[in-house]
Chain A
Amino acid sequence: MYRAAGLKKVHGTKTVLNIPVLEVEKGRIVALLGPNGAGKTTLVHILGFLDVPSDGTLLYRNRPVAWSESRLQSLRREAVVVGQHPILFTTTVYRNLEFGLKVRRVPEKERRRITEATLDLVGMKAFAKSPAHHLSGGETQRVALARALAVSPQVLLCDEPTSSVDLENRAAIIHILKRINEEQKITVIFTTHDRFEAASLAQDTFYLEHGTLTNSPQDNVFSARLYREGDGPTHCVLQETVRLLVPTERVGRARVGIEPGRIDILEAGQVSGGPNRLDARVVQVMEERRRIRLVVDAGVWFTVLMSRQEYLERRIMVGESVTLVVPPESIHLFGEPA
């Protein structure tokens, strides 16, 4: 659906987005996972053709996007963005939904049919004649979603769709996104800072950190101090608590990320070679799709991912004392000093 290369967005002297390569397949649910300020919204706006990248190419349905206003309108009619705090026009809910159809010159009868069906889909049919500004936050989010769906987009881009809604509306929104993806084959791209939401809803997940894609998820991202003693190897101290050997020449303060899938868990006292062995205790175990996520306390909390098979073989229990082995090559330094 999308293929981006060297996509950059620069504000003044600050690069807010720098995506070397990004591919989104048609008909998938894709999560853009990252903390606040990671560039998720900027990327969504570019993918929704609302913002122009400073550099790089973006292919939409295998065609390069020409960033001229006259051509963008037809692309925008295929990819609709629903913002984190969507705003409804100061009119009725019905007229809000009708807007996208009206600008497409859909006949009135057809407009009514689509509008009513879409309101029904999001469970807001009873609110059709209500003034849009009387709705609650969750209802507003659902109407905004319906307004986007009414125009039958190819791609639905949602910026933090559940961040400001209650549990009931959150479940409803997740259900709607899954349903429209399954039934209408709409490609859904959503941003979130909640890895559990990403894991439960998305088929593909991209991790964003400081405006760039990273292989390691946000798990195990720490602020750290890097130092060397003489000509010895560099160590990093995570949160002034845990010391790890790290393959870099850099010193000073930095943000480091440790790949959760590459951390090994051994029984306490089990002998193994290599550096970065930490005594730890398992504090949480949960299933996440086909993998098992363990949270382990080694002075700081680490997330460890392992396959279901591996977990069943090892039978690690909550509360169990273990030894963590963190391979130096699983530790990554992020671009900018913390």
Chain B
Amino acid sequence: MDFLYDSFLSGALLLISLDPELISIVGVSVKVSLSSTCLASAVGVPLGFLVAFEDFKGKRMVVTVLNTLLALPTVVVGLFVYAFISRRGLFGPLDLLYTQKAMVCGQTILIIPVVATLTIAAISRIDERYRETALTLGANRLQTALVVVREARFGIVAAIIAAFGRVIAEVGISMMLGGNAKGFTRTITTAMALEYDKGEFTLAVALGLVLLILSFGINLLFHFVQGRLRA
């Protein structure tokens, strides 16, 4: 167990000294994950809202498909996107493979179902009386929808945070579509996998600590925002 203790200590020191390589890796990870979370939210929140708010034929089927996609393995998404952006693929000429854009693309596909299903859950929990109240006070459909979204805001923010948590910790897509190129597409998780392969645990543990701190920080921020809004 000594190696774990030593790695933990060295990792902590690496973190405190703000090691440039570590900062670069964390920077790439955060940038790519934030981008994919934003894109997935832009698609997933309206999609989830529409599914929850509107009645249409095949609604249950859409919910079932979205729930199924929650269990989508990252390597499947990686493979799927690879097929489109590799040189022989439809978008091959765009030269996207092994770039951060490719990673964002794959991660966005991965978490759209997460954002959408959790948004559906958040909207469905909102009391029907909010919609009725908005309507009777003269709101149009869009204004009524905004009232419901406003009431469901904590649930929707939680959905987005959960999605961010999913992508910052994923490794399959980053490895397959990013290629783990140092300084460009090396993320926390791909770097950890590489360091593990090399038998070098110091950086891996330091990166693991960063992941935990990031996750804790995001949850702390969520609780702070929630508290402020409720007050």
Interface set of A (CB-CB < 8 Å, partner B): 48, 50, 69, 73, 76-77, 79-81, 83, 85-87, 89-90, 99-100, 103-104, 131, 147-148, 151
Pick from A69, A73, A87, A90: contact of B138, CB under 8 Å: A73
Bound-state CA distance A11–B157 (Å) is 37
Bound-state CA distance A90–B93 (Å) is 51
Contacts of A100 in B (CB 8 A): 137-138
**B136 x A80 contact (CB < 8 A):** yes
Closest to A147 in B: B137
**A86 x B129 contact (CB < 8 A):** yes
Closest to B128 in A: A87
- B165-179 CB mask vs A (1 if < 8 Å, else 0) is 000000000000000
Pick from B130, B135, B138, B143: contact of A151, CB under 8 Å: B138
Interface size in chain B (residues, C-beta < 8 A) = 19
Residue B132 at the chain A interface, CB threshold 8 Å:
yes
Bound-state CA distance A106–B67 (Å) is 43
**A151 x B133 contact (CB < 8 A):** no
Contacts of B140 in A (CB 8 A): 73, 103
**Shortest distance from the beta carbon of B67 to any chain A beta carbon, whole Å:** 28
**B151 x A89 contact (CB < 8 A):** yes
**A103 x B137 contact (CB < 8 A):** yes
Residue B125 at the chain A interface, CB threshold 8 Å:
no
Interface set of B (CB-CB < 8 Å, partner A): 127, 129-130, 132-141, 143, 147, 150-151, 230-231
Contacts of B137 in A (CB 8 A): 76, 80, 99-100, 103, 147-148, 151
Contacts of B151 in A (CB 8 A): 89-90
Bound-state CA distance A85–B231 (Å) is 23
Provide a sorted-by-A list of 24 A–B residue pairs whose CB atoms are within 8 angstroms. Answer: A50-B132, A50-B135, A69-B141, A73-B140, A76-B135, A76-B136, A76-B137, A79-B136, A80-B138, A81-B132, A83-B129, A83-B132, A87-B127, A87-B133, A89-B147, A89-B151, A99-B139, A100-B137, A103-B137, A103-B139, A147-B137, A148-B136, A148-B137, A151-B137
Closest to B153 in A: A90
Bound-state CA distance A104–B138 (Å) is 7
Contacts of B129 in A (CB 8 A): 83, 85-87
**B133 x A86 contact (CB < 8 A):** yes
Bound-state CA distance A87–B201 (Å) is 56
Bound-state CA distance A87–B148 (Å) is 13
Closest to A85 in B: B129
The 9 nearest A-B residue pairs measured at CB:
A100-B137, A77-B138, A87-B129, A81-B136, A103-B139, A103-B143, A103-B138, A80-B136, A100-B138
**Shortest distance from the beta carbon of B78 to any chain A beta carbon, whole Å:** 41
Contacts of A80 in B (CB 8 A): 136-138
Bound-state CA distance A50–B150 (Å) is 21
Assuming the contacts A69-B141, A89-B147, asked whether A48 and B136 have C-beta atoms less than 8 A apart, the reply is yes
Closest to B137 in A: A100
Closest to B127 in A: A87
Bound-state CA distance A278–B143 (Å) is 62
